[in-house]
């Protein structure tokens, strides 16, 4: 599978602040998916990006796929306590299976 680096590993923000997590690969990706895992829960699909430079929005969440298709980011505007959880990127390349990033654990302080 693809080797990816996801940063930061942990992020603590005050409620209302913005948050960004990054996923970086040394090789070109076919597409990339993002998942959210709430504490004690299982990963839940958020979105898939396929095109170079693609930007998709889901309410306060903005997902970007780099022009070179080697990196991606997830940005949350004005975080809420419901955003707490771990966010994983899962890029897909030539391998048959997805490789999940190590995740960014987001804590939102009220």
Which pair of tokens denotes residue 101? 């990033």
Question: Does the protein bind other proteins through residue 91 (CB under 8 A)?
Answer: no
> Considering the complex, what minimum distance in angstroms separates the CB of residue 47 from other proteins?
9
Cβ contact 70:28 at 8 Å:
yes
Residues 19-78 that bind other proteins (CB under 8 A): 30-31, 33, 35, 42-45, 48
Q: ω into residue 8 within 30 of 0, thus cis?
A: yes
Q: Does 85 bind other proteins (CB under 8 A)?
A: no
Here the tokens at position 61 are 């969440």
Please identify, using beta-carbon distances, which residue of 77 and 107 lies nearer to other proteins.
107
CA 36 from centre of chain: 8
Chain residues binding other proteins by CB under 8 A are 1, 30-31, 33, 35, 42-45, 48, 88, 90, 92, 96-103
């Amino acid at each position: 599978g693809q080797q990816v680096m996801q940063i930061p590993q942990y992020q603590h923000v005050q409620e209302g602040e913005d948050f960004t997590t990054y996923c970086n690969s040394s090789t070109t990706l076919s597409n990339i998916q993002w998942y959210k895992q709430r504490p004690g829960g299982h990963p839940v699909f958020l979105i898939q990006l396929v095109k170079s430079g693609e930007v998709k929005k889901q309410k306060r969440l903005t997902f970007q796929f780099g022009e070179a298709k080697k990196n991606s980011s997830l940005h949350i505007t004005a975080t809420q306590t419901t955003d707490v959880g771990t966010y994983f990127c899962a890029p897909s390349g030539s391998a048959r299976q997805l490789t999940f990033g190590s995740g960014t654990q987001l804590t939102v302080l009220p």
